[in-house]
Amino acid sequence: MNSQDLLTPCYVYDMALLRDTIEAIKAEIKEHDNYFVHYAVKANANPNILRCISESGLGADCVSGGEIKAALEAGFPAKDIVFAGVGKADWEIELGLDAGIGLFNVESIPELEVINEIAGRMNRRADICFRINPDVGAHTHANITTGLAENKFGISMSDMEAVISASRQMDNIRFVGLHFHIGSQILDMEDFVALAHRINHLQDQLEEEGINGVKIINVGGGLGIDYNYPDSNPIPNFHSYFHTYKNELELRPGQELHFELGRSIVGQMGSLLTRVLYVKEGHVKRFAIVDAGFTDLIRPALYGAHHHIELVKIAADNTSESAKSSSPTPLLYDVVGPICESSDVFQKDCPLPPLHRGDLLAIRSAGAYGEIMASQYNCRQLPHVLIINEA
């Protein structure tokens, strides 16, 4: 495709990298027939991507009825779908029970009571895991840390025995396991070590109380990706991730270990392509005003997240000497979008070759929490999507 014709802003998804990433996961877990990976659909629900992941045999971790529908449409078997989330509406619970999904991750007693009641009415039984708040802090951004004691997510560790006992009084509920999730974009394996040790302790505690029947331990997701060097590290270090759990977590005989990976599966296979609309020379700063904004990729504005930005193609009519030189001296640009909010900044002081109107930039590592979080604020169009390297 001639890049002149490319409509921007546009997400480009590299299916070859997605397939390689999934193969890397499968290679790590293949000798463990009790390990199951569910893809966290919330990271990217593009139908092509979901289809590729479902065909690879991973399950789906869904947090809404819409995600359950998308997963079913993409071919995930219902039994391999897990439904998580702190605020499940009645229709979403009905949808999950009706489809026969494998598991519900439950976050409170009121929710458990509603699932029990709806399941009874529908003559079904729901297999459930409790999401326990392990009070393990991940070394990541405050807005994406979820495992601390004071949190809207999960059930406090001190209530664990009580909720399990309560669930055993309910006719249409079967307690099958424990679920944890400590946050996202975690690169320090020590955080996962801390979670594993906490789970070991909780399992000991349950056994001392005579509570057994924990078939599933679900350690959530959260493995991070290299936003600084996407070309050096296109595939996350799954080896050290899975080995951390293998070495540190004391599974009981017959227990399954579940993982819910999102970002680490789809993050690196996506880039957001955007064109330079204007270069504005300020008195102190130099701005590259591009046609993508936080409506297309909100992570920098929302979390202060860093994405590597690079020039991929100079404008066809740009014949300046600097553009023709193979390695022109970089200049510092604030790369900003068109939206009427001062937070609409992709990167400050970003080193780039001298830019001109029409130049095409790639905002890298944008496959996770990018397109799926796009909005139409300012009555903007949703970003375009281009799929490359399809099998």
Name the site residues for ligand PLP (rule: CB under 6 A). 40, 42-43, 61, 84, 181, 184, 220-223, 260-264, 368
Instruction: Give the angle 383-260-138 at the CA atoms, nearest 5°.
Output: 95
- Which CB sits closer to ligand PLP, 38 or 380? 38
- The CA distance from 135 to 148, in Å, is 4
- The per-residue DSSP string of 179-239 comes to E---BSSB--HHHHHHHHHHHHHHHHHHHHTT-----EEE----B---SS-TTT-SS--HH
- Which CB sits closer to ligand PLP, 105 or 274? 105
Shortest Cβ distance from residue 131 to ligand PLP (Å)? 7
329 SS3 class: coil
Distances (CA, A) of 244 to 188, 238, 326: 11, 10, 44
- Which CB sits closer to ligand PLP, 220 or 337? 220
- Which CB sits closer to ligand PLP, 263 or 364? 263
Helices H / strands E in the chain, number of each = 11, 17
Shortest Cβ distance from residue 179 to ligand PLP (Å)? 7
Distances (CA, A) of 47 to 73, 74, 187, 280, 296: 8, 6, 28, 38, 18
Tokens of 6: 């490319």
- Which CB sits closer to ligand PLP, 260 or 296? 260
- Which CB sits closer to ligand PLP, 194 or 315? 194
Phi, psi (5° rounding) for residue 189? -60, -20
- Which CB sits closer to ligand PLP, 279 or 372? 372
Shortest Cβ distance from residue 266 to ligand PLP (Å)? 8
Shortest Cβ distance from residue 382 to ligand PLP (Å)? 21
- The CA distance from 50 to 18, in Å, is 11
Shortest Cβ distance from residue 6 to ligand PLP (Å)? 28
Shortest Cβ distance from residue 244 to ligand PLP (Å)? 15
Shortest Cβ distance from residue 88 to ligand PLP (Å)? 13
Are 96 and 105 within 8 A, CB to CB? no
